[in-house]
Amino acid sequence: MIGGWLKRLSGAEDGLGAAITGGRMRVLSGWARGAEDTAMPSRQVGPMPWVIAIMVAMSVVAAASGLAMRNIAQAARTDLAGGVTVQILEGRPELRARQAAAAAELLRQQPGVSNVHQVPQAEVDQLLAPWLGGDVADGVPVPALIDATLDGTPDAARLATLGRVLHGVAPAARIDAQSAWLGPVFGAIASAQWLAAALIVALAAALAAVVLLATRTALGNHAETITIVHMLGGTDPQVARIFQRLIGIDAALGALAGFAGGLLAIMLLGRRVADLEAGLLAGGMLGWADWLALALVPLFATVLAIVTARLSVLGALRRML
């Protein structure tokens, strides 16, 4: 038996000999898939996928909220772009009506002014009814309203010029840019968007921390195997790739579950908002680009987990010989 093996070893002509003599000649730059498959257990065991799922679900909801608010703000800005409202602040109804008609007519003649629309008094009364009561408007002097659209931005200088022109036919006229009224709303929306972004960043940081802890635990659990792999000539990137795969699989599973949960929450929330039939909120519908952006959340989470695992493992291995 020994003689046979020695013959083969010396001759290096069949399987054993060829592998022994060729073992170092066939060194490849990467780690063969077989080594990755076998050196470590195929899956980590622990709560990490579930934690990642929860974080991804929260990130998806936060991202969807931020995108919806951005859409609301954009829709409102588009609707109100160039929009101005002329108020006729006259207590006497006849004079108010006369000035309103004259102001509307004058506006129609102005260059760069379009969509001039005098809001019917009945519509104004209806708007005020929730605050003043159905029949109170009869006894309260309510301003006449004229909506119009200016070409370009209704800046202060342009409004002042128009105001002076209007005062010639309607001394009680006051002109305001509609966007100015919604300035605080836009501010609140912007704040909410920043909050959503900060929440996503915080969740990403927490996810990285979870992966870091899981990786360190895994490194501790497999320290002996890592030492053996090192002693057999395994490189740090080879070891790191094993952990990348372990963590990446768990992270991908968790991220997909979290994405599904997040989508479910968004759909339920969207249905509730749609039931409100509120004009401003209707502009918050998510478009295909928004859904695509949301689909990137689990992908980003998985990549973040893999990168965190790699950096963490390489950092830990550098402390070993």
Partner 1 sequence: MTTSDTGEIAQFDSVGLRYGTDREVLSDVSFTLFRGCFYFLTGASGAGKTSLLKLLYLSQRPSRGNIRLFGADAITLPRDRLPGFRRRVGVVFQDFRLVPHLSAFDNVALPLRIAGVAEADVTQAVGDMLDWVGLADRMHARPATLSGGEQQRVAIARAVIGRPDLLVADEPTGNVDPEMAVKLLRLFEALNRLGTTVVVATHDVHLLQKVPDCLIMRLDKGRLGDPTGALRFPPRRPGQQP
Binding interface with partner 1 (CB under 8 A)? 1-2, 5-6, 8-10, 14-16, 18-24, 26-32, 34-35, 38-39, 41, 224-225, 227-236, 238, 318, 321
Give least dist CB 13 to partner 1, A: 12
- Residue 184 or 233: the one with the smaller Cβ distance to partner 1 is 233
Give least dist CB 212 to partner 1, A: 22
What are residue 149's DSSP bridge partners? Answer: 83, 114
Q: Are strands 113-118 and 173-177 parallel, antiparallel or unpaired?
A: unpaired
Give least dist CB 39 to partner 1, A: 7
Q: How far apart are CA 298 and CA 292, in angstroms?
A: 11
Give least dist CB 310 to partner 1, A: 16
Collapsing DSSP states into helix, strand and coil, what is residue 286? coil
Give least dist CB 66 to partner 1, A: 43
**Per-residue b/e over 99-132, b at no fewer than 16 CB within 10 Å?**
bbbbbbebbeeeeebeebebbebeeebeeeeeee
Size of the chain in residues: 321
- Residue 70 or 230: the one with the smaller Cβ distance to partner 1 is 230
Q: How far apart are CA 163 and CA 150, in angstroms?
A: 13
- Residue 87 or 221: the one with the smaller Cβ distance to partner 1 is 221
Tokens representing residue 10 in the block: 């010396």
- Residue 158 or 245: the one with the smaller Cβ distance to partner 1 is 245
Helix (H) / strand (E) containing 285? none
- Residue 1 or 289: the one with the smaller Cβ distance to partner 1 is 1
